[in-house]
Amino acid sequence: MNMKMIVKLSYASSPSSQIHLSKNKLQGRIPYAFGNLPKLEKVVLASNRLTGDIPASLGSSLSLTYVNLESNALTGSIPQSLLNSSSLKVLVLTRNTLTGEIPKPLFTSSTLTDIYLDENNFVGSIPHVTATPLPLQYLYLGGNKLSGTIPSSLGNLSSLLDLSLTRNNLTGSIPDSLGHIPTLELLNLNVNKLTGHVPSSIFNLSSLKSLAMANNSLTGELPSNLGYTLPNIKTLILSNNRFKGPIPPTLVNASNLKSLYLRNNSLTGLIPFFGSLLNLEEVMLSYNKLEAADWSFISSLSNCSKLTKLLIDGNNLKGKLPRSIGNLSSSLKWLWLRDNKISGHIPPELGNLKGLEMLYMDYNLLTGNIPPAIGNLNNLVVLAMAQNNLSGQIPDTIGNLVKLTDLKLSGNIPSSLGKCVALESLEMQSNLLVGSIPKSFEKLVGIWNMDISQNNLTGKIPDFLSNFSLLYDLNLSFNNFEGEVPAGGSFAMVYKGNLELQEDEVAIKIFNLGTYGAHRGFIAECETLRNVRHRNLVKIITLCSSVDATGADFKALVFQYMQNGNLDTWLHPKSQELSQGKVLTISQRVNIALDVAFALDYLHNQCATPLIHCDLKPSNILLDLDMVAYVS
């Protein structure tokens, strides 16, 4: 149904005070005539496909109290008539593409209680609050392009419950006045450019239930009495800042705490005993300088029956894992212990945590065998135990992990891995693997990354590898394989390797000459590469057109190898890659876009014979060690 028909129906029926048409597939502009509907009180058009400006007539109704146009594609600015409304209480414009500056009249309205302007394209600074008292309770301005400092006058909004300024470009320090809003329950300043110490008034605001200031450059130590001064806190998010000193031990008294995010700071000392926090669900302490002592904090956490995520990777944790780790919550889904200095054997009691979906234990000093009990973790999607000092066989029970998509292990390759048909990434490089690639691997048709390089594997490279249509990163180098490189349905396969006189790794594109058109494709690609040269096009090092050991034709191209892979893996990183900081900054995104634009401009306008790429996509844009983009 179109919007004009809806207006006619509204007029035909009895005088309507409310319009509720959310979550449909309505298109077009909001009709101007909506504003002429008699006694109109509420307009709810959220989650449609509406476009164009917000009609100025919408603010003309003297009875209008509620407007929700969330999740559409509306453009332009907020009409003055709506800003000047003497009856409007709730204005929800979240997730549109509205532009301009935040209108100052919103901060002088004597009726507005709720303002939601988040997820738009507003620019400029946040207006100052000049009129008081105001009834405003909810102010959401996040996800815009606001700049400048946070006005201290926001502290005059004495009825405010929620203040969200996240994901903008705000600078300077956090004003002390925000800590004097007596009713404030939510303060979200995540992802800005804020600096300096957090005012003590913020950490003493007893009404706070959610405090989020992650991804800034805040400094100083966390107050030792934090668990007493924030008695109602449920969510505390301070990750990616420059806080130092210990985690306040009094946090164990914040009995309502559900989520504690302190990742990527410089916190030191022991991890507190959080076992008294019975509502605790998420603990993220990654990449600090924390210590474990005798690991008693793990035993304490066994009291937290709601715990779903425990991330303590990238710290200074030493010693042996306690057997009590198997007593953690049955609800636990994420357990990240990687990149520490944990030694000793892997406790078989880990097999009790049957709810686990991600288990990271790689980059430690673990010894001994992988316990067969790991095969009990039937919900495991990611298992990482590589880069340790493990020995012995990989247990066949690994084959029970049928949901596994990402595997990083050391040891011999068990054939039972072929049962893990959901496997997408297999990393077992740099070990002492022996034997051949198991035939059962032919079932791993969804795999896109396989790295078993730098081992002692032998035998022929299986033909079935060429049937893996999703495989784009295959590294078999530095083994003892023999025979022919298998041909498949595509023109070529790309391998990572080394040339004898070339220090850096190279990418070797070997053409499958048994495929129809492969000969012609090799000649065409050589002809093209001979005539193009640009700093943002992948550079060819050499080529090979000869015969192999059996006398069959062999053709290959050798390119520079790009250490940071392709753009697609950065735009859509897996969760474990996010933990390793695989996130593009705004400046990197802009630079990559410029690099690609320069390459295309060269191909289209500056070649002797203009060229069209015809297959430009993120997976064909490669990134070197300095994040310079090259079109492949």
Tell me the pLDDT tens digit for each residue of 251-277: 999 999 999 999 999 999 999 999 999
498 or 201, greater pLDDT: 201
* Eight-state DSSP code of residue 52: E
Residues annotated catalytic, as ranges? 615
What is the model's pLDDT at position 489?
A: 45
Strand order in the sheet with 365-368: 318-320, 341-344, 365-368, 389-390
Tell me the pLDDT tens digit for each residue of 443-494: 887 787 788 877 788 888 888 887 776 676 777 877 888 877 665 545 566 7
What is the model's pLDDT at position 469?
A: 65
Residue 211 CA to residue 209 CA, distance in Å, equals 7
Residue 624 CA to residue 275 CA, distance in Å, equals 46
CA dihedral over 84, 89, 93, 94, signed as positive or negative: positive
Tell me the pLDDT tens digit for each residue of 313-337: 999 999 999 999 999 999 999 999 9
Answer whether residue 524 shows pLDDT above 60.
yes
Per the CB < 8 A criterion, the answer to whether 349 and 374 are in contact is no
Closest of 328, 384, 319 to residue 351, by C-alpha: 328
Residue 170 CA to residue 172 CA, distance in Å, equals 7
Tell me the pLDDT tens digit for each residue of 606-631: 876 777 777 788 878 888 888 888 88
**In this structure, what token pair is assigned to residue 292?**
């474990």
Tokens 């295309």 identify what position?
A: 600
Rounded mean pLDDT, 49-58: 92
What is the model's pLDDT at position 310?
A: 97
Tell me the pLDDT tens digit for each residue of 289-308: 999 999 999 999 999 999 99
Rounded mean pLDDT, 207-231: 97
Per the CB < 8 A criterion, the answer to whether 47 and 23 are in contact is yes
| Reported confidence tier of residue 225, pLDDT bands at 50, 70, 90 | very high
What is the model's pLDDT at position 274?
A: 96
What is the model's pLDDT at position 9?
A: 43
- How many helices (H) and strands (E) would you count in the chain? 9, 44
Closest of 288, 290, 295 to residue 264, by C-alpha: 288
Per the CB < 8 A criterion, the answer to whether 212 and 241 are in contact is no
Per the CB < 8 A criterion, the answer to whether 78 and 53 are in contact is no
Answer whether residue 1 shows pLDDT above 60.
no
Residue 279 CA to residue 257 CA, distance in Å, equals 6
Please tell me whether residue 552 adopts helix, strand or coil conformation. Answer: coil
First to last CA, the chain: 46
Answer whether residue 6 shows pLDDT above 70.
no
380 or 474, greater pLDDT: 380
| Reported confidence tier of residue 236, pLDDT bands at 50, 70, 90 | very high
Strand order in the sheet with 266-270: 123-124, 145-149, 169-172, 193-197, 217-221, 242-246, 266-270, 289-291
Residue 36 CA to residue 355 CA, distance in Å, equals 57
Instruction: Determine the distance from the C-alpha atom of residue 374 to the mean position of all C-alpha atoms in its chain, rounded to a whole number.
Output: 27
Other CB atoms within a 10 A radius of the CB of residue 131 amount to: 10
What is the model's pLDDT at position 580?
A: 55
Per the CB < 8 A criterion, the answer to whether 109 and 132 are in contact is no
Looking at the whole model, is its pTM more than 0.95? Answer: no
Answer whether residue 361 shows pLDDT above 50.
yes
Per the CB < 8 A criterion, the answer to whether 455 and 436 are in contact is no
What is the model's pLDDT at position 410?
A: 64
> Where are the extended beta strands (E) located within 223-349?
235-237, 242-246, 259-261, 266-270, 282-284, 289-291, 309-311, 318-320, 334-336, 341-344
Phi/psi of residue 377, nearest 5 degrees? -85, 75
Q: For a pLDDT cut of 90, what percent of the chain falls above it?
A: 53
| Reported confidence tier of residue 555, pLDDT bands at 50, 70, 90 | confident
Residue 163 CA to residue 216 CA, distance in Å, equals 17
Which residues pair with residue 508 across a beta bridge?
A: 495, 558
Tell me the pLDDT tens digit for each residue of 425-440: 888 776 667 788 888 8
Q: Which domains does the chain have, with CATH numbers?
A: 484-561 (3.30.200.20), 567-631 (no CATH)
What is the model's pLDDT at position 446?
A: 77
Closest of 164, 96, 161 to residue 126, by C-alpha: 164
Closest of 371, 372, 379, 369 to residue 405, by C-alpha: 379
